[in-house]
Amino acid sequence: MSKIALGRHVYGLAAIMFGCIAFVWHGFNAPWQQIQALGSFPHPEVLVYLAALLELFGGIAIQWRKTARVGALALAVNFFAFALLWVPRIAAEPLVYDRWGNFFEQFSIVSGALIVYASLGRSPRLARTGYIFFGICVISFTLEQLFYIRGTAEFVPKWIPPGQMFWAIVTTIALALAAIALLSGRWALLASRLLTAMIVAFGLLIWLPAPFADPRKLINWAGNAQNLAIAGASWIVMDYLSEQRRGSSASSSITRTESTEVAG
C-alpha cells in the first residue's frame, strides 16, 4: 500500500489522548478496567506511566510516514496487552457477554495498528489478517448492542427523534450489515465508510458532550478516547479498502493497455 490516509492520524490522536488521560488521572480505573486481572502489586503507577509513555510515543510516531510503522507496532503491542487482560475475566464469567465485548473493542484497536504496520511494510497477508480481525470485531459490536439493547438505548440522546430504542435497533442492524459486507467483501468499501461515519457520530453525539456535563468523571474522558480509537481503526480499514480499489483499478488499466498494444 502506497499510503494510509487520514485514518492513522485519527488513530494516533486517540492514542495520545489515552496517554494524557493516564498521566492526568494516575490510574487504570476507567480506561483499563481489565488491569484488575493482575491483582494487587506494588507501585502500579509505574505501569500506568510506562503504558502512557508508549501510547504517547506511538501516537506521535504514527503521524509521520517514516516513523509510522514503529509507532503502529508500539501501539499494537500496547493495546494487545490490554486486550489479553480481558481473557481472565472472560474465563471467570464466560456467559457474561460484556467481558467478550470489552475484549473485542480493545482488539478492534489492535487491528487498526496491525493494518498500518503491515501496509507500510508491504505485507499484504498481514494487512488482510488485520482487516479480517476488524470485521470479526464488528460482529462483536453487533452482539454487544443486541444483548444490551436497553443499555444501548440509554446512550442515545433523548432529544433525537423518533426515540432512543429506535436508534438502538437501527444502529445494531447497521453494525450487522457492516460486518457482513466487510467479511464477505461485497460493498465493503461503502460499508466501511458508513461504519466510520456512524462511529464518529457516536463520538460527536454521545461522548463529546459527556465531559462538559461532568468533567470529573474519568469514564467521560476515557470513553472519548476509546470511541476515537475505534473510529480511527475503522477509518484505517476504509483507507485500506480505498487503496485496494485504486490498486485494482490501476492493474486493470495496465492490463487493458497491454491488451490493446498486443491487438494493435
Query: Domain residue spans in the chain?
Result: 6-257
Check residue 58 and give its pLDDT.
98
Lowest mean pLDDT among 25-34, 94-103, 130-139, 254-263: 254-263
Check residue 257 and give its pLDDT.
46
Give percent of the chain with pLDDT exceeding 70.
85
For the stretch 140-156, pLDDT in tens is 999 999 999 999 999 99
Check residue 98 and give its pLDDT.
95
Whether residue 66 has pLDDT greater than 90: yes
For the chain, how long is the longest CA-to-CA vector?
77
Within 10 angstroms of residue 93's Cβ, the number of other Cβ atoms is: 12
Mean pLDDT value across residues 96-119: 97
Give percent of the chain with pLDDT exceeding 90.
75
First and final C-alpha spacing in the chain: 33
Check residue 1 and give its pLDDT.
44
Report how far residue 141's alpha carbon sits from residue 106's, in angstroms, rounded to the nearest whole number.
11
Check residue 211 and give its pLDDT.
94
Report how far residue 21's alpha carbon sits from residue 27's, in angstroms, rounded to the nearest whole number.
9
**pTM of model > 0.85:** yes
**Burial class, 138, CB count within 10 angstroms (exposed 0-12 / middle 13-18 / buried 19+):** buried
**Residue type for 74, please?**
A
Whether residue 256 has pLDDT greater than 70: no
Mean pLDDT value across residues 151-179: 97
Whether residue 42 has pLDDT greater than 80: no
More confident residue, 258 or 13: 13
Distances (CA, A) of 235 to 1, 170, 247: 15, 21, 18
Report how far residue 56's alpha carbon sits from residue 71's, in angstroms, rounded to the nearest whole number.
9
The grid coordinates listed for 6 are 487520514
Mean pLDDT value across residues 66-72: 97
CB 112 within 8 A of CB 12: no
The grid coordinates listed for 14 are 486517540
Whether residue 133 has pLDDT greater than 90: yes
Predicted confidence band at 250 (pLDDT cuts at 50, 70, 90)? low
